[in-house]
Amino acid sequence: MKLKGKIAVVTGGVRDLGRAISLKLASEGAKVVVNYFDNPQDADETLKLIQEAGGEALMVQGDMTKAEDVKKLFEEGIQAFGDKVHVLVNVVGGLVGRKQITEQDEDWYNFLMDVNMKSCWLCTREAVPYMTEGGSIVNFSSLAARDGGGPGASMYATAKGAVMTFTRSMAKELGPKGIRVNALAPGTIATSFHDRFNTPENRERMKGMYPLRREGDAGDIADLVLFLAADDSDYITGTNIDINGGMFFS
């Protein structure tokens, strides 16, 4: 029970990677405040799974690109579980779609930057006043931030690159307070993200190029998040950890 007695906030925490992370943190004793955007069915299922495993969680709907919704998330979590936040996991983000530079407009730019970078910034800003020494923030970047992304993913890659830099900046700023800030840079993980934005043929081709010859799964990601959230990693901060089966070394 590495997180017993701690409160964790997970944004985008009711499906795919977010669900696996919420379940993992709850299984290690954390009381988990789980944000979701627009699917109460997913939220209900995630809550059910956590409770069946003996964990505690609160589901809070909200758009993490809006400051008022972010504030509500933390206020409801504090009201339910206590006056501190020990762990924040910023999962919210996504590729959304693929567009070449000549197809992109200002609305596209703003949306990709908002969902991937602004959400991370807003949630971090809101969490810090509730955090004390020993706190941990885990952000989600991407392999795309390392290599520029695939065709039509330039704005996604750019936004995730901003998350990498923000992670380093916050590690410096919050380190004297005893708060660690790290990020993950996942490669191909078997989730609905790649079901939607990749093809089965390309995924099989790519598997043959990975040293480990497989895609990652949500459990691989959740295990790494737990490591970064817990005291096991108490001298690690400012890192952007690659988790891609050896596809790319940084």
Q: What is the residue whose two structure tokens read 């390392």?
A: 146
Beta carbons of 155 and 109 less than 8 angstroms apart? yes
Backbone angles phi, psi at 15, to 5 degrees: -150, 160
Catalytic pick among 36, 109, 130, 156 = 156
22 Cβ partners below 8 Å, 6+ apart? 10, 13, 14, 32, 34, 46, 50, 57
Bridge partners for 12 per DSSP? none
HEC string for 115-184: HHHHHHHHHHHHHHHHCCCCCEEEEECCHHHHHCCCCCCHHHHHHHHHHHHHHHHHHHHHHHHCCEEEEE
Q: How far apart are CA 118 and CA 65, in angstroms?
A: 6
Q: Cα–Cα–Cα angle for 188, 194, 197, nearest 5°?
A: 125
Catalytic status, residue 36 = no
Distance, CA of 199 to CA of 162 (rounded, Å): 27
Active site residues: 156
